[in-house]
Amino acid sequence: MGRQNPNIVITGTPGVGKTTHAEQIARSLGFTHMSINQIVKDEGFHEGKDEELGSWIVDEDKLLDHIEATPLPSTGGYILDWHACDLFPERWIDLVVVLRCDTTTLYDRLTARGYKGKKLEENMDAEIMQVLLEEARESYREEIVVELRSDGVEDVEGNLERVEEWVRKWREENRG
């Protein structure tokens, strides 16, 4: 055991800014951005798409085997970006960032992405009901789950600084 770097999950409703945050955090820390959606799609770890929600019906066993075969569990330094988080075993994860967004802003982002009808509605409801935050709190220790705002660009900068500071502390506490 003894990871050199922490693994960080970035989660939240589609459109809150997971990709934006994951890319910037990975770049500034030299971590690996692991987009779960991309892996599921590229490797075919799914049984098609849930058309209503527009999300993949994921083959979780294959996905977890794939992640387990990467250096993620042993050396760390990964940013996992996905609209769900309860799947990853607790022992792999050091920090869970749940991004939140103002509903009007989210509505604009999702409609700009072409979401409409039931798909738009379900995702708006998920943000309002804070589904991902609850999921994170149920799946991981309270002290590793943080909720951060992602309404504007200044939030991204502030969040980046916060995560960098947290990683510095983690290294101090966890490196021999």
Interface positions with ligand DAT (CB under 6 A): 12, 14-20, 109, 150-153, 155-156
Structure tokens at 73: 């569990």
> 29 or 156, CB closer to ligand DAT?
156
> 15 or 77, CB closer to ligand DAT?
15
> 57 or 153, CB closer to ligand DAT?
153
Q: Nearest approach, Cβ of 111 to ligand DAT (angstroms)?
A: 11
> 66 or 109, CB closer to ligand DAT?
109
Q: Nearest approach, Cβ of 91 to ligand DAT (angstroms)?
A: 25
Q: Nearest approach, Cβ of 10 to ligand DAT (angstroms)?
A: 8
Q: Which amino acid is at 121?
A: E
> 63 or 156, CB closer to ligand DAT?
156
Q: Nearest approach, Cβ of 22 to ligand DAT (angstroms)?
A: 7
SS3 letters across the chain:
CCCCCCCEEEECCCCCCHHHHHHHHHHHHCCEEEEHHHHHHHHCCEEEEECCCCEEEECHHHHHHHHHCCCHHHHCCEEEECCCCCCCCHHHCCEEEEEECCHHHHHHHHHHCCCCHHHHHHHHHHHHCCHHHHHHHHHCCHHHEEEEECCCHHHHHHHHHHHHHHHHHHHHHHCC
Chain position whose Cβ is nearest to ligand DAT: 17
Q: Nearest approach, Cβ of 153 to ligand DAT (angstroms)?
A: 5
